Amino acid sequence: MKKGWIAVVALVAGLITGTVSVAEEFMDGVEYTTISKPLRTVSESGKIEVREYFWYGCPHCFRLEPFVQRWLDGNPQNVNFQMQPAILGESWAPAAQAFYTAALLGVLDKVHPAFFDEIHVKGNRNLAKNELAIELLFEQSGVTPEQFRKTWGSFGVQSRVKQAYRMTRQANLQGVPAVVVNGKYLTDPGSAGSYEQMFKVIEFLVAKEMAAAK
């Protein structure tokens, strides 16, 4: 666990209605790092992109899920949240393919938690290596085998998987889960100190970017 962050003076003043003041509560190179070449982001007026990189086979990503949902349920201000499958090796690609297949079929809200549960609760560690098992998981979410196969092998899914490879490489990830704020700053639970602390770092970086945009 990294240490050395400076005590709080003030994080945000008037985030919505007034000027924004951001104290250096967290330090570059400690709780977060600046990405040398900023990444492209999804533009949404008045919002800062927060992109979570994950892999379904990662137990830490599974444990992070409740914290992500709790944070999102709190409607974080000025945030455009994006889920991003990471691909750090060939064996990670099928999980990303499943994510994008679910997204294009409109069943991500069902498949996303089911995929995590199948691996980490039910113990099906080889799920991502078994296309038939993935197909069955989709069928349980209301997708016919024909719909699954057509989308699974589609150009739309394949192109998104290739993009996931590129984005993972460009972010210079060493592992997951990891979060990139506005394409500029990278943080993770280990650097931040805990799952809960990571979201404080994220909010700090969002405020920092909002202040820079004024």
CATH number at residue 149: 3.40.30.10
Q: Does the structure show a pLDDT above 50 at 1?
A: no
Looking at the structure of the chain, the number of domains it has is 1
Q: Is residue 13 part of a domain?
A: no
Q: Is residue 79 part of a domain?
A: yes
**Range(s) of the domain holding residue 137:** 33-191
Q: Is residue 138 part of a domain?
A: yes
pLDDT at residue 24 in the model: 66
Residue 206 in tokens: 């969002």
How far apart, in whole angstroms, are the C-alpha atoms of residue 198 and residue 21? 20
Q: Is residue 209 part of a domain?
A: no
pLDDT at residue 7 in the model: 29
Q: Does the structure show a pLDDT above 60 at 19?
A: no
Q: Does the structure show a pLDDT above 50 at 97?
A: yes
Quote the percentage of the chain above a pLDDT of 90. 83
Q: Is residue 16 part of a domain?
A: no
Q: Averaged over 74-97, what is the pLDDT?
A: 96
Percentages (nearest 5) of helix, strand, coil residues in the chain? 50, 10, 40
Q: Averaged over 27-52, what is the pLDDT?
A: 93
Quote the percentage of the chain above a pLDDT of 70. 89
Q: Does the structure show a pLDDT above 80 at 190?
A: yes
Lowest-pLDDT range of 15-24, 41-50, 93-102, 126-135: 15-24
Q: Is residue 1 part of a domain?
A: no
Mean pLDDT score across all residues of the chain: 89
Cβ distance 74 to 68 under 8 Å? no
Q: Is residue 141 part of a domain?
A: yes
Q: b/e per residue, 104-127, with b = 16+ CB within 10 A?
A: bbebbebbbebbbebbbeeeeeeb
Q: Is residue 153 part of a domain?
A: yes
